Structure 1
Amino acid sequence: MTGERELIEPKDFPSTFLKGDYEQVYSQMSKAFQDEVTLKQLRELGDDFNQDVISYKLQSELPYSNGVRQYAWTDDSGSKGMVAVFDEADVIQGLQIMPLTNYPETDEVYTKTVMDLPFHDTWFVLWGGTNSLVNYHYDYENQRYAYDFVIMNEHSTYDGDPELNESYYAFGKEYLAPAAGTVVKVENRVKDNKPVGKMNEKQPLGNYVILDHGNNEFSYLAHFKYESVLVKEGDQVDQGKVLGQVGNSGNSSEPHIHFHVADSPDFMKSKSINSTFDREDTWIQGDFVEK
């Protein structure tokens, strides 16, 4: 139809937003968004947010079912972040812009222990990276450099009833030691969350294994399946040792692997350390990682 605007493709969204074409952005927003935010408000927010920004860089792309995709960008300084959700028709269902806090003094400090991935085969990075757009853990000093891994197949982490743990590809998979060490803490008696989506905030790690690798470096592996942990405190384990099975215990929204390293076996008082892995590749949210 003559005069009808062309839709902004996700790859062009940040440049369109940065040059101030808010009418184009707004016209592509869902009605629900337009009911909450006026064009004038979007323009005011955008003009303020875009100040001093040279460009936005894509950080991650998350696919969801039904063709929905989430994109995250940061500015060149890493101090501003933007997330947009597009549906299968490229209607923008959500937009979030926010300042980002950075911790460069610890981002470049890595473990002396060289870690391997705590799983077999190919997994998907659900959360990981050094900003809170791609890694919600980043705002918390005790798990700032944590990773959450799931198994993704055809843009989904499950097949069947989404309320059942057994429907998730990750549930029951082998959970491996990322490096040799001594088992210093174990929990094995926390029930898996049922239905999936119900979370246990009182026991955030759920079933877990904490390994001492020396050098004040302790790896945390959390959310094991109920009564699946195969090691006990004091055990010496080699890298790649099967520790148990992946589950959905603790503060977990679905079956997945949670892994991070910290400077103490005291979860609440420790400080997270960025992990050195046995490969040159780095990855963040949205990446597939193959062992």
Structure 2
Amino acid sequence: MPIDLAYPFAGWWRVQHSPANRVPSHGTRLFATAYAIDFVPVSEKGRTAPLTAISLLKPEPAEKLPGFGCPIFAPVDGVVLAIHDSEMDHHAHRGIPSIRYALTQKKRAKKGWVALEGNHVLIECRGIVVALCHLKQGSITVRPGQDVQVGEVLGGCGNSGNSTEPHLHVQAVDSPDIERAKAVPVTFEGSLPANGDIVRI
């Protein structure tokens, strides 16, 4: 049974790596990511920052892209199990830099789930753990053991971990030990957006 979540953001977001299109959504079942989904903050026209000659050739500051630092909200009522808030937000990699960056992904995967997901919050809800990842360094506002309700601010959208541009990675698992957990399907407000959809909240 999937766990139904509220959308954990406001504004305009593009769906990427949706399990509505394929499972495993990220091309791997490693670290229980089979049903994970990514949301990329975009402008009202559905775009990230315009590609320029510079951004095609060089990494660019993450804060130049839409949504960096925008609030991320609790998608369920639950208890905060764990947080991680110390990973640096690195530059965004688009164009040619994204190809070079992709070649380093296996190296990060060998370091474990935290190296991939960066700063994150884990929330337990009815025996299911919901992970919200790639948060901005130093932005997390909740602590382990804290009760949270839907819509409560958890932190800000960032570019930590295995991330080419600021976005939010959401996944649900059956155990807080994510490196050994099994993936749990998710829906958002009763449905599952497809890859490429623009969600406006």
TM-score, normalised relative to structure 1: 0.56
Query: 1:131 & 1:282 partners in 2: Cα distance?
Result: 10
Which residue of 283, 286, 289 maps to 2:193? 283
Contact 1:132 1:139 in 2 (8 A): no
Which residue of 69, 79, 89 maps to 1:192? 89
Equivalent residue, structure 2, for 1:183? 80
Runs of 4+ in 1 over 4 A off after TM superposition: 130-134, 197-200
Cα drift, residue 115 of structure 1: 1.2
Query: 2:84 & 2:173 partners in 1: Cα distance?
Result: 18
Contact 2:82 2:122 in 1 (8 A): yes
Equivalent residue, structure 2, for 1:206? 118
The AA in structure 2 aligned to 1:287 is: D
Query: 1:120 & 1:155 partners in 2: Cα distance?
Result: 14
The AA in structure 1 aligned to 2:48 is: T
Cα drift, residue 268 of structure 1: 1.0
> What SS does structure 2 have at the residue aligned with 1:166?
helix
Cα drift, residue 284 of structure 1: 1.3
Equivalent residue, structure 2, for 1:218? 129
Which residue of 143, 149, 155 maps to 1:232? 143
> What SS does structure 2 have at the residue aligned with 1:204?
helix
Equivalent residue, structure 2, for 1:110? 2
Contact 2:24 2:35 in 1 (8 A): no
Contact 2:36 2:171 in 1 (8 A): yes
Query: 1:137 & 1:117 partners in 2: Cα distance?
Result: 23
Equivalent residue, structure 2, for 1:123? 13
Contact 2:86 2:119 in 1 (8 A): yes
Equivalent residue, structure 2, for 1:49? none
Q: Structure 1 unaligned segments of length 5 or more: list them.
A: 1-108
Which residue of 158, 163, 166 maps to 2:49? 158
Which residue of 35, 45, 67 maps to 1:170? 67
Give the direction of change, closer, same or farther, for the CA distance of 1:287–1:249 in structure 2 (3 Å limit): same
Query: 1:195 & 1:224 partners in 2: Cα distance?
Result: 14
Contact 2:2 2:184 in 1 (8 A): yes
The AA in structure 1 aligned to 2:199 is: V
Contact 2:136 2:157 in 1 (8 A): yes
Contact 1:115 1:178 in 2 (8 A): yes
Give the direction of change, closer, same or farther, for the CA distance of 1:164–1:144 in structure 2 (3 Å limit): same
Query: 1:133 & 1:262 partners in 2: Cα distance?
Result: 15
**Aligned positions, number:** 179
Equivalent residue, structure 2, for 1:65? none
Give the direction of change, closer, same or farther, for the CA distance of 1:148–1:191 in structure 2 (3 Å limit): same
Q: Higher relative contact order at CA 8 Å, sep ≥6: structure 1 or structure 2? A: 2
Q: Structure 2 unaligned segments of length 5 or more: list them.
A: none
> What SS does structure 1 have at the residue aligned with 2:32?
helix
Matched, 1:135 2:47: no
Cα drift, residue 181 of structure 1: 0.8
Which residue of 155, 161, 171 maps to 1:244? 155
Query: 1:138 & 1:284 partners in 2: Cα distance?
Result: 18
The AA in structure 1 aligned to 2:64 is: S
* CA offsets 1:94-128 (integer angstroms, 9 cap, x no match): xxxxxxxxxxxxxxx312xx310110122110210
